[in-house]
Amino acid sequence: MVKFAHLADCHLGSWRQEELQTLNFQSFQKVVERCIQEQVEFILISGDLFDSAYPPIEILKGSFSEFKKIHDAGIPVYLIAGSHDFSASGKTFLDVLEKAGFCKNVGKWETQEEGRIKLISHIHGDIAIYGYPGRKSGMEVEDLKNIYIDEMHPFTILMLHTTIKEVLGSMQIEPVNKEKLPLANYYAMGHIHKRFEDHISNSRYVYPGPTFPNNFQELSDLQCGSFQMVETDGINIKTQNIQIPLKEVVTIELEVTNGLTATQEIVSHIDKLALHDKIVLLKLKGTLIEGKTGDIRFNEIEDIIKKKEAYIFLRNISSIKPHELEGITSSVENFQEIEKRRSEEFLKKNPHNFNKYHQQLIDTLSDREKHEDEKTAIYEERLISELKTILEITEIL
Ligand SMILES: [Mn+2]
């Protein structure tokens, strides 16, 4: 029997809020602790160990200390880069970890003629481990159509950071066809932050879920982080998803129709709840017939939640629709159209000289996103030079 752990999407360094950054890291620590306790044979990390290719020093310190513990316990770590810790330059902190002897990047391949990609195995006992990294914006999907394995092993693991059709749900991402992937016994997947398991005859396809939820919706859906514990005798595979509950999550979902009275409604609802040390998520939805979202006194709501000693409070108001947009949304296709129409009306009423730039600036700023891997300085330069053209600014040297 071989027992190994499969983790994905740790996103170490994610979350702006300190409280959640702490939980994110604690959750990872718990997983490490459990792996050492259970004396797993090895640990797989299927991409997005770090939230970015260059994580902050504090996060690196903590991470190295965890990897040292794993190393001292004699447990090898096999990993691939994900869409977040991937870097087009090929340089990431995963390399630093690997150089230090704390992990082995198993995303190895040789590009053959006609673009075919031959994966190179890493052998652990009777087990062959292969991997192909994630890329930004799902760019790995095309590559994965060309990967192949040309050896036979008693037990094969394929680590991928990508999306298979079955896990997709309503997301607008191009998936890979799992039947077309090279044959393996265990597909150690990452990228989609869901707990998911599927199988075809003896092959397992597993998404263990992130080691901690990464945004408001994930906190609400997943409640906590998780990873997969896998056991195999070389033929049969037994897998178990292990969840790491740290704090209770309370999702308060309320429908509001009046911005002016909403504060009172929310407060009286919260009054009845015990929130001590909990993660409190407030999700508002509905169409405001009176008042605006700006009329909701969130400071007041936050004060009450603080008094109840919640661990942290997050709110999400993106599902509230202002009343005035109601009629328009059905007749006009998208928000850009609405914006354009409004801006035209605004210009008619306010024919100030500067306002003639309005629409052009909105258009430029809304679709000039930073290119993947574009250096910030270069992006800024590009943006500024475009803005200068629009604003007809000529530099005086
Ligand atoms: Mn991820």
Tokens for 114, please give them: 């006609």
| CA–CA separation, 338 and 331 (whole Å) | 10
Q: Which helix (H) or strand (E) holds 365?
A: helix 358-367
| 269 has pLDDT over 70 | yes
- pLDDT digits over 212-258, tens only? 999 999 999 999 999 999 999 998 999 999 999 999 999 999 999 99
Place of tokens 């001292």: 72
CA–centroid distance, 130 to ligand 1, in Å, is 19
Q: Which fold has domain 2-244?
A: Purple Acid Phosphatase; chain A, domain 2 (3.60.21)
Q: Tell me, what amino acid is at 295?
A: D
- Distance in Å, CA 96 to ligand 1 centroid: 20
- Write the CB contacts of 347 (distance below 8 Å, at least 6 apart in sequence): 355, 356, 358, 359
Q: How far is the CA of 33 from the centre of ligand 1 (A)?
A: 22
**What is the b/e burial string over 195-212, where b = at least 16 CB atoms within 10 angstroms of the residue's CB?**
bbbeeeeebbbbbbbbbb
Token reading at 396: 């005086």
Query: Which is higher by pLDDT, 80 or 366?
Result: 80
- Compute, in angstroms, the gap from residue 82 CA to the centroid of ligand 1: 7
**Ligand 1 centre distance from Cα of residue 185 (Å):** 23
Taking the centre of ligand 1 as the mean of its atom positions, its distance from the CA of residue 91, in whole angstroms, is 19
Q: What would the pLDDT profile of 94-127 be if each residue is shown by its tens digit?
A: 999 999 999 999 999 999 988 999 999 999 999 9
Residue 347 to residues 9, 295, 363: CA-CA distances in angstroms? Answer: 47, 27, 16
Q: Which residues, 6+ apart, have CB-to-CB distance to 124 below 8 Å?
A: 41, 42, 76, 78
Q: State in Å: Cα 45 to ligand 1 middle.
A: 11
Q: How far does residue 386's CA lie from ligand 1's centre (Å)? A: 33
Rounded CA-CA distance 80/50 in Å is 11
Residue 211 CA to ligand 1 centre (angstroms): 10
- The helix (run of H) or strand (run of E) holding residue 110 is strand 109-111
User: Please, which residues have CB within 8 angstroms of residue 213's CB and are 6 or more apart in sequence?
Assistant: 193, 219, 221, 222, 223, 224, 225
Confirm if 220 and 249 have CB atoms less than 8 A apart: yes
Can you list the alpha helix ranges (DSSP code H) found in 184-258? 216-222
Least confident of 54-58, 111-115, 145-149, 339-343: 339-343
The answer to whether residue 284 scores a pLDDT higher than 90 is: yes
Q: Are 255 and 266 in contact (CB under 8 A)?
A: no
Residues with CB under 5 A from ligand 1 (ion): 9, 48
Strand, helix or coil for residue 163: coil
Cα(329) to ligand 1 centroid in Å equals: 33
CA 216 to ligand 1 center in whole angstroms:
14
The domain spans of the chain are 2-244, 247-331, 342-397
Alpha carbon of 119 to ligand 1 centroid (Å) = 23
Question: Which tokens sit at 335?
Answer: 């928000």
